Every structure is written in structure tokens, then in C-alpha cells.
Chain A
Amino acid sequence: MVGIGQFDFNLFIKILPDLARGALVTLKFSSLSILFGLIIGTFFGIFRILKNPILPKIATAYVELIRGTPLLVQIMIVYYGLPAAGINLPPEVAGVLALSINSGAYIAEIIRAGIQSVPKGQMDAARSLGMSYAQAMRYVVLPQAFRNILPALGNEFIALIKDSSLLSVIAIAELTRTGMQIYAVTFNAWTPLLGVAMFYLAMTLPLSKLVDHFQKRIGGHESP
């Protein structure tokens, strides 16, 4: 008999394609968001260290605001709150927007730390050869910063994959919501939720391995 507490192997096989589709949606949303988050984070990470009267303050306010509030609330503000201000966004756009803004704040901090991990002498040498500040950043400092923060960025991506489960509250059919829907129809919780967990692991474990690999490589030959 099928009950709430029982694992149903036949059901499990049957729902695999649905869960796989949900996992793909999760991957799509987290990939898009990490990409936009990287762009946002790179700018705000640089803003934080600029010698400028306002940009560092704006960047700090952004980071504090995002880190000090729950992602769930941020998602709901973008999806349910913005329409009140006259901006209606489809759930997909609202979802990517909220996740990107959220990860952008965490990535900004990672980028800032990454830039500061590059010895000051690198910037001095680049500028002394006639490079502008922007050129020195782009060709000398940032490539080394990114190499140093690759593990941290990997961890951020893993966190984002898991956090994207919150998109289920705005009716995006990602992995978690797919599992919940199967539960709602079959009244079997164990089978879809175990499947859901399994798919999350299938995405995060290889990434963890990659992070370990990068970590070791950096440990191997550190910049002077």
C-alpha cells in the first residue's frame, strides 16, 4: 500500500523525468543568476575599494541590505512588491532578478576580498608601465583575483543552486516545486522528496569536487 511514510520504487521511476526537468530548470535559473551575479558583483566589488566619495558607500549599502534580509523576502518583494510600484514582471524574470541581486551582493564581497588578495605591487608594476587603472584592473589584478576566488565562487554557485528552491514560492517549476507537486498529487512525500534531494546532490557534489580541485591548485603555487 502506498502511504505517506513509504518509499515507492515504481513511483520513483515514474517521476524521474519530471524531477530531471525540474533539475534542469533549477540549473538554468542558478546559472543565469550566477552569471548576472558575477557581473553585478564585479562592479560592486570594485566600487567598494575605489577612492571615490559615493560609490563605495552605495556598494556597502547594497551589500548590507541584501545580506541583512532573507532571500525569501527579497524574492517576494521583487515578485509581489514591484507590481505595487507599477512594475509587473513574469515570475521567471522576477526569479532571476531576485537571485542575481542576491548573489551579486555575496559575490561583490568575494571579489573585493579577491582584489585585496592580489599584492599591491602588481598594481604598482602595471601602472608604472603606463597602464591606466582600468587596464591594470582588467589585465593584471582581476585575472589573479579570479584565480584566487574560484573556490569561493564555486561555493557561491552551490549555495545558489540550493537557495533557488525558494523560487517555488512564486510558482516557478524548479526542482523543489516539482517534488511538492508530485506529493500533492500522489500523497506520497518520501518518494518525490528523496528524489529531489538526490538531484540536488547530483548537481552540488561534482561542483564541490571542482572547488576542492581549484583549492589544491591555488595551494600549489601561490602568487608571491
Chain B
Amino acid sequence: MSLLKIINLHKRFGDLYVLRGVNMEVEKGEVVVVIGPSGGGKSTLLKCINMLEPPTEGKIILDGIDLTAKGVDLNKIRQRIGIVFQQFNLFSHLTALENITLPLRIVKKVPKDEAEKIAIKYLRKVGLEEEFATYYPHQLSGGQQQRVAIARALAMNPELMLFDEVTSALDPERVKEVLNVMEELAREGMTMIVVTHEMGFAKEVGDRVVFMDGGVIVEEGKPEEIFTAPKHPRTREFLSMIL
């Protein structure tokens, strides 16, 4: 059984029709890379998956549970889905360490000293030494902030990780350090949906590439298929523009 199943997902913002029937399945341990032009609904898709944006129509099924059903404890479900945003969204009034311990403590009720141990462990995992633990977000570089954000999501021990253009706001020389963390995560078997413009990453790490445009999945397939022999003209056009 697939870990995630998206069935006929529609999303409207008032008159704006952003998602027009998206169907997708993600197996455990799979890395799905989502590409597509701006405004195509990629971010909206990710936010629907963890129900930050409630779908207008359709089903999101995680591990057999329909998240769109009434009475589902979304606060519980969201602990199982980590998301990392383009703008980092670290809590600006908290240190790197506190960014990670706050959700552990108030959501998972982990005691303070244990939460700190977990936080340090994940900061190390994303390549940040203990000295950065006491830094506030504004004292960290973009790449460091994004790695703290990844550590914060991982510390909740999710089964599925969503990445929304996490390197787009970074200086070019900082992109690699974040991509490396994601690559390692993929190697360890994490199930991931990655929205990105980093085609190198898509080719090397992605198990499957999904091209989204106009609120639908236009084409999907193995990276080598999509990148070398795209079937759909819109995919070809998009790839010729960015490659």
C-alpha cells in the first residue's frame, strides 16, 4: 500500500482555480520531485497534503487515513508530515535550539532536557555544530536557517517530508549544503516530495519526476525519461526554458 494517495484533488481560492484534479501516489521511501512553471499550484499541492490549505474537493490519504474526512485529528496527523518552506519560517523570537524544542515540548510533551538532546542530535545531523544552538535566526545565514528548519521538521520524526523550493531563497554557494542534507535523507529512506528547480538534484536523487502546470499533472515518469524524452509539448517547452 502506498504511503500517500491523492485522489482527484481540487483547490479554489475564490474564483481562482488552482488545482484541477490532481492524482498522485507516493510509495514508502520514494522521492518524488515536482517541477513546473510559477503559479502552477505546486506550493498549494504541498499545503493541501498536510491540510494547511483544506482541499475544495478530493481526498488525501496518508497511510490509509483520509485526512479530508471529518473528525480527523489534524494536529496529530501533521506530526507525521514534515514540511520545509522556501522562506525558512523559523520562529524569529526563538533560538535555533528553541525552534526545535518548542514543538517537541508542547506538541509531543517531551521533557525539556530530552527535547534539547533531540534538538542537538538533529542540528548535528544537518551539519550544524552545537555552538549554533543559541543563535537566533537573524544571526544565521540563509543556508544555516534552512538547515535548522529541516532539523526542526525531522525532530518530530515524520514519515513524509515535503520540501517547497527550499533552496530558491539561498545564495548560490549555500544551495549545495542544503541539497546535501536532503540527499542524505533520501539515502536513508525518507519518503519525500520535493518541489524544486534544481534539475541536478531531480536527476540524481529523484525516483520520479512530476511536471505540473495549470493545476494538473501534465506528465510524470522516471527522471531520465522526463529529462531526455519528454512526451508532452508543455513539458518540453518548460524544460527547454530552464535547462
CA distance A211 to B145 in the complex (A): 30
- Say whether A130 contacts B76, CB under 8 Å: yes
Check B138 for interface membership: any CB of A closer than 8 A.
yes
Shortest CB–CB separation between residue A160 and chain B, in angstroms? Answer: 26
* Residues of chain B lying within 8 A (CB to CB) of residue A127: 52, 78
CA distance A140 to B89 in the complex (A): 11
- Say whether A130 contacts B89, CB under 8 Å: no
* Residues of chain B lying within 8 A (CB to CB) of residue A129: 78-79, 103, 107, 152-153, 156
Q: Which residue of B lies closest to A142 (CB)?
A: B93
Q: Which residue of B lies closest to A221 (CB)?
A: B138
Check A69 for interface membership: any CB of B closer than 8 A.
no
Check B122 for interface membership: any CB of A closer than 8 A.
no
Shortest CB–CB separation between residue A140 and chain B, in angstroms? Answer: 5
- Out of B52, B75, B137, name the residue touching A124 (CB < 8 Å): B52
CA distance A122 to B149 in the complex (A): 12
* Residues of chain B lying within 8 A (CB to CB) of residue A126: 91, 103
- Say whether A131 contacts B88, CB under 8 Å: no
- Given A122-B91, A132-B75, A144-B92, decide whether A224 and B138 contact each other with a Cβ distance below 8 A: yes
Check B106 for interface membership: any CB of A closer than 8 A.
yes
CA distance A21 to B172 in the complex (A): 65
- Say whether A121 contacts B78, CB under 8 Å: no
CA distance A119 to B87 in the complex (A): 10
Query: Which residues of B, 81-95, contact A by the 8 Å Cβ criterion?
Result: 81-83, 85, 87-93
* Residues of chain A lying within 8 A (CB to CB) of residue B81: 128
* Residues of chain B lying within 8 A (CB to CB) of residue A139: 102, 106
The contact string, 1 if C-beta is below 8 Å from chain B, for chain A 126-154, is 11111110010001100110010000000
CA distance A147 to B106 in the complex (A): 21
Shortest CB–CB separation between residue A121 and chain B, in angstroms? Answer: 4
Give the bracket for the number of chain A residues in contact with chain B: 20 to 34
The contact string, 1 if C-beta is below 8 Å from chain B, for chain A 172-184, is 0000000000000
- Given A129-B78, A129-B103, decide whether A122 and B89 contact each other with a Cβ distance below 8 A: yes
CA distance A126 to B107 in the complex (A): 10
Dominant SS at the A interface?
helix
CA distance A221 to B137 in the complex (A): 10
Shortest CB–CB separation between residue B145 and chain A, in angstroms? Answer: 8
CA distance A106 to B88 in the complex (A): 33
- Say whether A121 contacts B79, CB under 8 Å: no
Shortest CB–CB separation between residue B104 and chain A, in angstroms? Answer: 9
Check A223 for interface membership: any CB of B closer than 8 A.
yes
* Residues of chain B lying within 8 A (CB to CB) of residue A221: 136, 138
Check B235 for interface membership: any CB of A closer than 8 A.
no
CA distance A121 to B52 in the complex (A): 11
CA distance A147 to B83 in the complex (A): 27
Shortest CB–CB separation between residue B133 and chain A, in angstroms? Answer: 18
Shortest CB–CB separation between residue B169 and chain A, in angstroms? Answer: 10
CA distance A121 to B90 in the complex (A): 9
Check A125 for interface membership: any CB of B closer than 8 A.
yes
CA distance A128 to B50 in the complex (A): 7
- Say whether B87 contacts A135, CB under 8 Å: no
- Say whether B91 contacts A125, CB under 8 Å: yes
CA distance A50 to B150 in the complex (A): 30
CA distance A221 to B107 in the complex (A): 29
- Say whether A140 contacts B76, CB under 8 Å: no
CA distance A86 to B116 in the complex (A): 57
- Say whether B93 contacts A125, CB under 8 Å: no
- Say whether A121 contacts B156, CB under 8 Å: no
Shortest CB–CB separation between residue A78 and chain B, in angstroms? Answer: 37
CA distance A124 to B102 in the complex (A): 15
- 18 interchain pairs, CB-CB under 8 A: A121-B89, A122-B92, A125-B149, A126-B91, A126-B103, A128-B78, A128-B153, A129-B152, A130-B107, A130-B108, A131-B103, A131-B106, A132-B75, A135-B106, A140-B91, A221-B136, A224-B88, A224-B92
Give the interface of B toward A (CB within 8 A): 47, 50, 52, 75-76, 78-79, 81-83, 85, 87-93, 102-103, 106-108, 136-138, 149, 152-153, 156
7 additional contacts, CB 8 Å, given A129-B152, A130-B107, A221-B136? A128-B50, A129-B78, A129-B153, A129-B156, A130-B76, A131-B107, A223-B92
